[in-house]
Amino acid sequence: MPIPNQRFSDRFGGRPKPEPVKPDELPDSAKIGLVQLIGELRDKALPSLTKMMIAVNNELRRRPPERAEFPMLRDLVLEAQWWEFYEICEALVKAAQDQTQVVNRIEALFADESLAYAMTENGITWRYSSPAKEEVEAAERLLVEAPEFAATARQWRKAQEHLSKRPPDHENCVKDAVGALEGVARILTGKTGQTLSKILPDLAKTVGMHKTLETAIDKLYAYRGDEQGVAHGATNTELSNLAAEAEMVLYWTAGAIVYFAKKIRTLTWI
């Protein structure tokens, strides 16, 4: 899958404002590192300066200059707003002569700087901790590749997108993640009109799930409805600290989705 045509800022909530973002989320050292990377890969894995200037300015919705000079590109990077920095990175990958190398080098920079996002061949995505990344990807494959889970797959993507936005929408991330699990349970059991709490006892009995695990999933569903515990009434600082909780819910729901599907069906793609 190539880099999306839709810009980073459009995918993650329009052209966001920098104020809700923690000041240390995009350190100046990341911008300096990207400038150094561009200089190193220019006319190699990256194209000529002229082509890069055209690609970057188009991505930023600006008119490319009549003459391309490296200090111009350097200043674009160093003066970029946080979302523009990520748009520049995707523009560079789109224009690259060796996309794989550019993706890998930019991702190495992101990882070294502990940035909130990861650079992948499919574009910039939220950076999950391991093993959450593997489990979330497994659930994604299951939902995308099974036609009957199409609607649930859309809700699962929304859950991930809520976490990727700035500021992150932790509440709706949790709600859509658990909602996707509920959708899978409904499809697997045929009980399309019932809630997860109603479905869970019979589903757990069918697959031979231990009572403790059943209770854990039921409590997860209860947490979904606890809006006060997810976001409401929290300060900006508290909201910024809820990313770990939202990611944990994604990890748990991903594991439960894969578990139930594996128990009930033979899934050759997992």
Do 26 and 77 contact (CB within 8 A), yes or no? no
**Residue closest to 86 by CA, chosen among 41, 119, 129, 47:** 119
CATH code of the domain occupying 132-264: 1.20.120
Query: How many angstroms separate the CA atoms of 51 and 54, rounded?
Result: 5
- Which residue ranges make up each domain of the chain? 8-126, 132-264
pTM score, whole prediction: 0.67
pLDDT in tens, the chain (270 residues): 578 888 888 887 667 665 556 556 789 999 999 999 999 999 999 999 999 999 999 999 999 999 999 999 999 999 999 999 999 999 999 999 999 999 999 999 999 998 988 999 989 988 877 667 788 888 888 888 888 889 999 999 899 888 877 777 888 899 999 999 999 999 988 898 899 999 999 999 888 899 999 999 999 888 887 654 454 444 444 445 677 788 889 989 999 998 998 888 643 444
